[in-house]
């Protein structure tokens, strides 16, 4: 049987592919477990310095596999709170916690938890054919997988309310204009551009980028004073890395830096 999640190493980057295209890459339990495993592997492997999240087929991800959540064979419906706690929450926490840059390539519809997994990534590229859909309200659920956290912060409360209560599809261009994603590209360029970006990030000072991610995470809940303290502390750590020494030496010697991610 084809793996629902593919995990490949490409130079200093890891590539994760959602791979259930027949059901628009919607997540069932084994897929969520496998996703957690590959994220743990990407975190553990010091040679991995960026992660690219992409998907097979015409969609990015349609969220929860609704056939699993509400089986038609008469068996009792899944406990949705439990699906979220054991399936999606650990994935979203990992994406935000792992101190390596995550690039996400969205080539088609990203719905429900699928939309919010994309929004959890650091840099989201979407093709002109992509769309974002907070589908939860159409089936009587609330947005999960960080939707109620990311959307008001990225797009503002008014747009977050409209997206989550009306459940209208947002085009890639609208998502860009709302501040939800980094860039829109032509469909034929999506994978190449996303991979180039992930490879470029993998060649950067990984510890510095990781600490930047930690600071950005903390900024979402901090006052200016608290955040200045975070920056002071993390800058102390960044300045003790090999890559900081190398970056300054390369600048002074007028040569390209050779960062090791240490
Ligand atoms: O229990 C819980 O629900 C836990 C909560 C988890 C968080 C969530 O993610 S809740 C939100 C769940 N997702 C959705 O509600 C989205 C459902 N899908 C759709 O609304 C539409 O499929 C799309 C708008 C995403 C795409 O529409 P379209 O017209 O491009 O494709 P389609 O024809 O609807 O779907 C193609 C196939 O994928 C189809 O199968 P078939 O008929 O070819 O055999 C369809 O049933 C299947 N599919 C699409 N989404 C799901 C799915 N199968 C299972 N689960 C899905 N989420």
> Helix or strand or coil: residue 19?
coil
User: Which are the contacts of 144, defined by CB distance < 8 A and separation ≥ 6?
Assistant: 84, 88, 113, 116, 136
Atom nearest to 144 CA in ligand 1: 7
Buried b (16+ CB within 10 A) or exposed e, 37-54: ebbeebbeeeebbbbbbb
Cα 109 to middle of ligand 1, angstroms = 10
Counting every residue, how long is the chain? 262
CA atoms within 13 A on the CB side of 136: 22
Average pLDDT over residues 145-156: 98
Average pLDDT over residues 53-64: 98
Are 189 and 148 in contact, with CB atoms under 8 Å apart? no
Pairing of strands 170-171, 183-185: unpaired
Cα 154 to middle of ligand 1, angstroms = 25
* CB under 8 A, 24+ apart: contacts of 252-257: none
Atom nearest to 135 CA in ligand 1: 15
Is the pLDDT score of 77 beyond 90? no
Per-residue pLDDT tens over the stretch 165-184: 999 999 999 999 999 999 99
What is the C-alpha separation between 75 and 28, in angstroms, rounded? 16
Q: What percent of the chain has pLDDT over 70?
A: 100
List 183's β-bridge partners, or say none.
Answer: 125
- Name the helix (H) or strand (E) containing 249: helix 242-252
Average pLDDT over residues 151-158: 98
* Atom 4 of ligand 1, residue of closest alpha carbon: 80
Is the pLDDT score of 75 beyond 80? no
Per-residue pLDDT tens over the stretch 34-57: 999 999 999 999 999 999 999 999
Give the model's pLDDT for residue 226.
98
Nearest in space to 117 (alpha carbons), one of 88, 148, 84: 88
β-sheet with 131-133: strand ranges across:
109-111, 131-133, 170-171
What is the C-alpha separation between 138 and 88, in angstroms, rounded? 19
Give the other-Cβ count within 10 Å of 142's Cβ.
12
Give the other-Cβ count within 10 Å of 140's Cβ.
6
Place of tokens 């390596």: 100
Whether the pTM exceeds 0.85: the reply is yes
Nearest in space to 194 (alpha carbons), one of 13, 22, 46, 24: 13
What is the C-alpha separation between 80 and 10, in angstroms, rounded? 36
What is the C-alpha separation between 30 and 3, in angstroms, rounded? 10
Average pLDDT over residues 5-32: 98
**Residue 124 pLDDT grade (very low, low, confident, very high; cuts 50, 70, 90):** very high
* Atom 19 of ligand 1, residue of closest alpha carbon: 62
Average pLDDT over residues 186-206: 98
Place of tokens 């590539």: 15
- Name the helix (H) or strand (E) containing 14: strand 13-18
Cα 64 to middle of ligand 1, angstroms = 8
Q: Ligand 1: which residues within 6 Å by Cβ?
A: 23-24, 26, 62-67, 69, 78, 80, 83, 109, 111-113, 133, 135-136, 139, 141, 144
Give the model's pLDDT for residue 34.
98
Give the model's pLDDT for residue 2.
83
How high is the mean pLDDT of the chain? Answer: 96
Cα 62 to middle of ligand 1, angstroms = 5
Average pLDDT over residues 143-149: 98
């Amino acid at each position: 049987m084809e793996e629902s999640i593919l995990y490949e190493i490409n130079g200093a980057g890891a590539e994760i592919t959602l791979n259930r295209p027949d059901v628009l890459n919607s997540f069932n339990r084994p897929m969520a477990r496998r996703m957690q495993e590959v994220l743990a592997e990407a975190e553990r492997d010091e040679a991995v310095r960026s992660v690219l999240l992409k998907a097979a087929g015409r969609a990015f991800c349609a969220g929860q596999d609704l056939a699993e959540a509400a089986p038609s064979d008469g068996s009792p419906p899944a406990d949705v709170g439990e699906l979220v706690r054991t399936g999606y929450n650990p994935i979203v926490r990992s994406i935000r916690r792992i101190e390596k840059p995550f690039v996400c390539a969205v080539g088609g519809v990203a719905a429900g938890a699928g939309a919010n997994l994309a929004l959890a990534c650091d840099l989201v590229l979407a093709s002109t054919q992509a769309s974002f859909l907070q589908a939860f309200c159409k089936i009587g659920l609330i947005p999960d997988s960080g939707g109620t956290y990311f959307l008001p912060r990225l797009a503002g409360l008014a747009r977050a309310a409209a997206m989550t209560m009306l459940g209208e599809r947002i085009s890639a261009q609208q998502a860009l204009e709302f501040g939800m994603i980094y860039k829109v590209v032509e469909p034929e360029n999506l994978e190449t551009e996303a991979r180039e970006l992930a490879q470029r990030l993998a060649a950067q000072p990984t510890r510095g980028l990781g600490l930047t991610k930690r600071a950005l995470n903390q900024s979402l809940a901090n006052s200016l004073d608290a955040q200045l303290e975070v920056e002071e502390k993390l800058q102390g750590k960044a300045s003790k890395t090999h890559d900081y020494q190398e970056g300054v030496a390369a600048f002074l010697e007028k040569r390209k830096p050779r960062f090791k991610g240490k």
